Structure 1
């Protein structure tokens, strides 16, 4: 019996020892910071932590990336707090209603939103270990939520690339290839989107899945861990101006409190850092601003290094910056953040309640009307943000009219959408819907305009009064029944929903026509671009009616049955003005010199929004591809096109277009074709600055530079709605302008353009930049032989959120023949 007890005790000791929490270095089998850890091993470590400390850690898979990698959240605190985790969450959320007795601080730490800013995931493993061991006292009054890798696809892309190209031992010489990533770096996600600019727009699955969990907690503090240039010292809060005006004094002051605590540790170690520069709090779709607009202390922390640094690199000062150095810095600020939160839990809870109680706005309701498809698309976005909205009740309203840019009156009827600030997400409503964000400083890190009424192309009135509303109902055509004896079915064309419907039909082999002229028949009027699906065109498809009906229901499309092809006004269905849409075979150029972000927007547009096949041709070999196999070729925005578009290749493109190809050229790619014999687009010369001969102080150089800059501003432009590129649009389009390239009107085919209204209606544009906007091309089409060159000087697909621009791109694919 004694021997049995000894044996049991021995195995019990082994079991307990085997379940002891290991440090990252012990678990991984190498000193943390001497290798990059692939995502599956990061997941293994977090599983180890959760299994050895189940009373203190809960690990949750909250979704998966486009490439199938799991997205993880780790919740950690004391055993007592974790036992009551759901009650703590529910009590915390009562703060939104102003009656909470919450006592715990909620801190959310997000790592590796940019995949090649890879130190932060490494630092997260050491951070969770320290919080459970040496810094466990910080957890008494704190719930910590950790996302170890927001962007595991990008992170693994970088880690795998580095393992492939690194020297052994690693080479600190910055000229070595291990410090020079290729065209597709690890920064972005699968579709090359910048996830740190997607918090508000939610175009990517990572963002969509994360926000569901974020809205369940709405933490007091959110930190987004980043890296910047190799030679930069560490950056932490407080942030730079401009701050958006909804940011409270407490949020500003608490950033200072946290920053001073960080500084205490950095000073003790002799580490360099800076604050209040570069990284502002304005653009709403960052990992610091979006949480801030939801009541948090939202902050970005930036460590020098990024994908350039590898495991170690010599800086311009001659010092060697190692991955272990970078881990130490992010570890320090992460722990310091939790420390400050734990010491100020009461203050954070008290101030969080005030954030949601003490609010006042100039505009209390936004009334939007117009294209119902666009309203429904906006409703889908609002649902994800848990922003409430309703339908108008016939109330007469007065307020600021966005299109007229002055006060006016309107009616909030049942076809309009009403969004009021009198709700939990009131501050976010103001930020996303206000006509023009107030700028305390024109020097910003990102775009300065994003107002959703312009992005969705909707008529909007901002009212100073609360406008009553009823339940808003999205369109539903589930009861739309079709008769196989019907002559034809007609559908409108004015939104991305229509484009998706068309794309689906074409891929099923269903033949579709479109009208180049307005027409009227059987008591109803139809605009240019209207889709016409005839029984005769699809006579050889026995299941045509079923598939058409199923597709219409899938996209909530109303189809109008017509009994004849004889119209009352316009062109009959047999006219040459009613043309068959041939399904185009589309290719896009990738690789240098295209921009990965701009390429990714096109890739995502085809696969995730339009759901239409796309062939990617890489710049390394595209000059050997037989372009005759493709109907459409897209050249994304990018720098350096002239390096690949030599005279011979340019002539080849010209010949391909003349023989019937459609070439879509975007942004800076246009510059490589401008002022050449083969293409008619011409760059517009910039007018000189009248102050050019004056002496300017050196210290004002940056201010002088921005006189010629446009930092993401919204401009009102004119549209020729009779052109196929503009089918579905009216005579006005609001464009988001990001650069300063300018092109002359085309001799024929100028479709969207700026005339003499050159002042932005929202956002910042320098005084000299405004002067150079007169008489410039936005979108246009050059007819060339049997084909066309479509010039898109501005980006209608920018970050996937400029909804009202997307139909231009669809028109370029399907309507321009």
Structure 2
């Protein structure tokens, strides 16, 4: 009986796998079907099922080794299955070190040196054919024993990352599986094919992880890049899905939209490997195309980041069944068909990479040799970064560069370039003459003119602008002024606080000051903020405090344990706390003055649900937690009328559609604000506030802006170019801040870089004290914008804030927390949490 069951199970598994491949397999190894309990594609595999199969396979195969390289936000393990011959796996670390030395140090390439192939699946959780194809691929590479497969395993190290976004994968798998009937429904209008908000594409915080390869704001990305930089793969397969009515796309993409620092040889190798894809799909008579879609420009996504790191990144896009089966213009598209195409492209990638092994290894070595040569010849020798009083923000940038294996050196002594003096201990040099030359040039790029102005994604991402760190391109190296060792993050060392002081105070400049403040508020510590600068006696010296500095007066504390809590918490944050001996100050207001605002513990309501931009809602959610230690309550727009708003101090409206709100909702928000609430809106959230009359500001809408672009004498062929000119896909502009305004406290300079990807503009107010920030006279810093837009943007307001009864309304034209890495502008939103009621700006009657 047992034997017959085993025979049946083996035959069933073989039949199930036949829809993907026909080669005989080693039945000693488990198949995905045996582990899942169903054929791949019958149901959407959850991440734990993928993990269980990979664990079983690795434990029984001599050709596979499983690693957990990190954890997602929801603590799902991030997996990497290393597949190769037993001989290669036996000396894996030696191979890795040898490979890196060949690439970056130019050592001779061994005749038997394997090519490193990286196959990444499912960075978008609802593009599920990719992650499920990884199951079939792992089985094929370990269980099929043909001569071709054995050659691959001897000549390649194959790194399979089956689910780059496990949290999103499971969100979508649950949705698709819970709506599958005994007979799958192909109707595109069926609920299975229409995901709910926020859908399965993003990660836990609703971020697009395929835009985070450069920015590294999430643990999934940091784990991925750590492996990438350790291995330096020669080929990277980046597997995605697109619209149901498409076919199959593989790069090359549109030639005019490639990143200019990518070497031409990269595109030649991409095209050479594309011939293997074409041959594989031709053999199966499957539809496909290339060179007509998608750009290869933004270096922060999975197919382009490799290109500026010596690899050949290849984007794959499969038409999506977005469920189990769906009607399309090409007939019924089943989930298993989509999986098979991803599996086919995976094999053709391996086949092409092994065939081009010597060329790929030689190209990578030449890439890094050329980087050193070009860095030496470049007129710019590097970039100087300067500390502006916020070490946390600066070290955040330095840490990010370090994760990308970019060398940064501190100044050991003062150094001057032209009229700019750089102080030792406050300045850092990023030399261009290093292996990461192209990545550095890209990360610091401020280009405004491009060969092709059509962008699939953003056109600028300048890291120092995002962090609001002063930087300067220098044409000579600091030489002996440099320290001999690269920058390393120093451990936090703190001395105990002196007990018995009249008060304690800390600066608001550091990025972690809000986290420290919030921790104090959570412990019941009473805190006030200085609305102007002052100086006070601390120990034996007088300390200068800037506006926004937080003061903890001993006489106001109610909790008997307050000092112990203060002392414990100050050990956790890189914020210096000064013990103040007297309430009488040498300069500025005394500590009992009304010029010290009471800080209340914020209770934040974030409007998040259908109709709202989920990405931007997630960015606010994530940054409130990271930068202020606050987890907001989130309510769908449709529930606003049934929510008791009295428990909240702040309401945040991000980009989205608020048209469903009626006069009753407007009255509800107005009454809440007039009673003392702080109402924040940005992008379309701000535009709605203006339309509702809650924000007293005019708006230049997108249609008005588009009229600035000439549309006469255009042919039909010009439609795409016109569309590209009419939008700002993603560029950086500058605004001039009123640094005396409480919303700008802690920001180091008047000029603030802001990311803009919308053409809507707030109009400046004619009332005094309302315009917190106006765009600069020459605002365009980086990225593409039609020249007709720039003068109009220069007339606009970036931030407006005014009274509404006892409350305040604050609006921003742009998203202050774009992709989680615009730390400079994010301070405005954080300030609104604590200082949003501390200014007085009544609107004058027109």
- TM above 0.5, yes or no, is yes
Counterpart check, 1:287 vs 2:287 = no
593, 607, 613: which one pairs with 2:611? 593
Equivalent residues of 1:110, 1:147 under 8 A apart: yes
Report Cα offsets for 1:309-368 as digits up to 9, x if no partner: 3111111x2511111211121111111111111112222222211111112143221101
Counterpart check, 1:46 vs 2:54 = yes
Please list every run of 5 or more consecutive structure 2 residues that lacks an aligned counterpart in the other structure: 1-9, 11-24, 838-846
Rate the CA distance shift 1:325–1:479 in 2: closer, same or farther, 3 A: closer
Report Cα offsets for 1:726-771 as digits up to 9, x if no partner: 112222111111111111113352111225424x221001133324
Equivalent residues of 1:140, 1:342 under 8 A apart: no
Aligned to 1:402: none
Rate the CA distance shift 1:267–1:477 in 2: closer, same or farther, 3 A: closer
Aligned to 1:661: 677
Counterpart check, 1:105 vs 2:118 = no
Structure 1 residue 559, shift from structure 2 partner: 1.6
Aligned to 2:686: 670
812, 825, 828: which one pairs with 1:805? 825
Structure 1 residue 477, shift from structure 2 partner: 5.8
SS at match of 1:757: strand
802, 810, 814: which one pairs with 1:782? 802
Aligned to 2:5: none
Counterpart check, 1:753 vs 2:769 = no
Aligned to 2:843: none
1:537 and 1:424 mapped to 2: Cα distance?
Answer: 56
2:390 and 2:36 mapped to 1: Cα distance?
Answer: 54
Structure 1 residue 541, shift from structure 2 partner: 3.3
Equivalent residues of 1:166, 1:177 under 8 A apart: no
Please list every run of 5 or more consecutive structure 1 residues that lacks an aligned counterpart in the other structure: 1-12, 400-407
Equivalent residues of 2:640, 2:665 under 8 A apart: no
Structure 1 residue 511, shift from structure 2 partner: 1.4
Rate the CA distance shift 1:274–1:583 in 2: closer, same or farther, 3 A: same
Rate the CA distance shift 1:189–1:392 in 2: closer, same or farther, 3 A: same
128, 138, 142: which one pairs with 1:128? 138
Structure 1 residue 130, shift from structure 2 partner: 2.1
2:260 and 2:477 mapped to 1: Cα distance?
Answer: 21
Equivalent residues of 1:201, 1:801 under 8 A apart: yes
2:726 and 2:445 mapped to 1: Cα distance?
Answer: 26
Q: Which moved more, 1:247-256 or 1:204-213?
A: 204-213
Structure 1 residue 492, shift from structure 2 partner: 1.2
Aligned to 2:360: 348
Rate the CA distance shift 1:495–1:594 in 2: closer, same or farther, 3 A: farther
Q: Which moved more, 1:468-477 or 1:490-499?
A: 468-477
- What is the aligned-residue RMSD (CA, Å)? 2.2
Aligned to 2:337: 325
Aligned to 2:783: 763
Counterpart check, 1:741 vs 2:760 = yes
Rate the CA distance shift 1:380–1:52 in 2: closer, same or farther, 3 A: same
Counterpart check, 1:118 vs 2:133 = no
SS at match of 1:423: coil
Structure 1 runs (4+) greater than 6 angstroms displaced? none
> What is the TM-score with the length of structure 1 in the denominator?
0.92
Report Cα offsets for 1:632-664 as digits up to 9, x if no partner: 1111221x2112x21110111011100101111
218, 223, 235: which one pairs with 2:232? 218
1:504 and 1:324 mapped to 2: Cα distance?
Answer: 51
- When the two structures are aligned, how many residues end up with a matched partner? 787
Structure 1 residue 692, shift from structure 2 partner: 4.6
Aligned to 1:160: 174
Counterpart check, 1:94 vs 2:107 = no
Aligned to 2:264: 249
Equivalent residues of 1:33, 1:327 under 8 A apart: yes
37, 42, 53: which one pairs with 1:34? 42
Q: Which moved more, 1:463-472 or 1:153-162?
A: 463-472
1:626 and 1:390 mapped to 2: Cα distance?
Answer: 54
1:677 and 1:637 mapped to 2: Cα distance?
Answer: 17
554, 559, 584: which one pairs with 1:535? 554
322, 327, 336: which one pairs with 1:314? 327
Aligned to 2:525: 510
The 5-angstrom pairing of residues 404-803 of structure 1 reads 409-411=420-422, 413-436=424-447, 439-468=450-479, 469-470=482-483, 471=485, 472=487, 478-522=493-537, 523-538=542-557, 540-638=558-656, 640-643=657-660, 645-684=661-700, 686=704, 689=707, 692=710, 694-729=712-747, 730-746=749-765, 747-748=767-768, 749-754=770-775, 756-758=777-779, 760-803=780-823
Q: Which moved more, 1:548-557 or 1:681-690?
A: 681-690
Structure 1 residue 106, shift from structure 2 partner: 0.3
Structure 1 residue 236, shift from structure 2 partner: 0.6
Equivalent residues of 1:201, 1:381 under 8 A apart: yes
Aligned to 1:375: 394
1:138 and 1:688 mapped to 2: Cα distance?
Answer: 54
1:388 and 1:336 mapped to 2: Cα distance?
Answer: 36
Report Cα offsets for 1:80-114 as digits up to 9, x if no partner: 21122121111101121111434110001000000
Q: Which moved more, 1:124-133 or 1:220-229?
A: 124-133
1:340 and 1:706 mapped to 2: Cα distance?
Answer: 35
Rate the CA distance shift 1:477–1:163 in 2: closer, same or farther, 3 A: closer
Structure 1 residue 397, shift from structure 2 partner: 4.7
Aligned to 2:28: 20
